[in-house]
Amino acid sequence: MRRGSLISIAFLSCVFAGAPLSAASFSLTPRETEEAIRFGQRSVVSEDFDREWKIANASGESLTVVTPFFRLVQASRNATFKSETLKPQEIDSLLREHQGKLFFWASLRGRQADFSRWYRAVLLVLGRDEIKPSFVQNERTPLRQEDGRFLSRSVYVFPTDGLAPKGRVTLVVRDKDEHEVAKFPIDLSAVR
């Protein structure tokens, strides 16, 4: 078999297996948009379709890295469950909302109902100052868990200016006294 054929087969296996093609896309091309929609449509038969974008830390807390690609996959999946397809204006709106931004959905645990109210998140990038979020939404009414602790779902949005799509970053969440309460190392080359 020729080298070109092997490369084509490897590329197609990544596309159809749902493996990352290269790195995080902060702005989707028309081809990436189509691939995200197809991925979302095919994902209805997979419970762990989003494992590429999920990270867990040692404390059992989790983080979802929400790139424009993932958000479009999720919207396409939801539409497919309803036997619908995404309308062009829905796709455009969604891509505009996520253009140049990196969203993080964090599921954090604490002992009091208002534990996450004053949490602050920063993004650490090697060789740069801490990047502050452009948007923060800490849940004020977390869910009580069976163990008596509370689960809070927070959203942190960061600008992608200066972030390398194949780089490594670390999301650090701190309490109001600047104590680190959660840390998530993220390899952007592992997500689309």
**168: amino acid identity, one letter:** R
Read off the pTM.
0.82
Q: In this predicted model, what pLDDT tens digit does every residue of 144-164 receive, in sequence order?
A: 999 989 999 999 999 999 899
**pLDDT in the model for residue 6:** 33
Residue 118 near residue 175 (C-beta atoms within 8 A): yes
Percent of the chain past pLDDT 70, that is, above it, reads 88
CA quadruple 107, 108, 110, 115: dihedral, nearest 10: -90
Q: In this predicted model, what pLDDT tens digit does every residue of 25-83 receive, in sequence order?
A: 788 999 999 999 999 999 988 888 889 999 998 888 999 999 999 999 999 999 999 99
The number of distinct structural domains making up the chain is 1
Domain region containing 52: 3-190
The token pair at 59 is 């404390």
Which CATH number covers residue 183?
A: 2.60.40.10
Q: Which residues contact 80 (CB under 8 A, 6 or more apart)?
A: 40, 41, 44
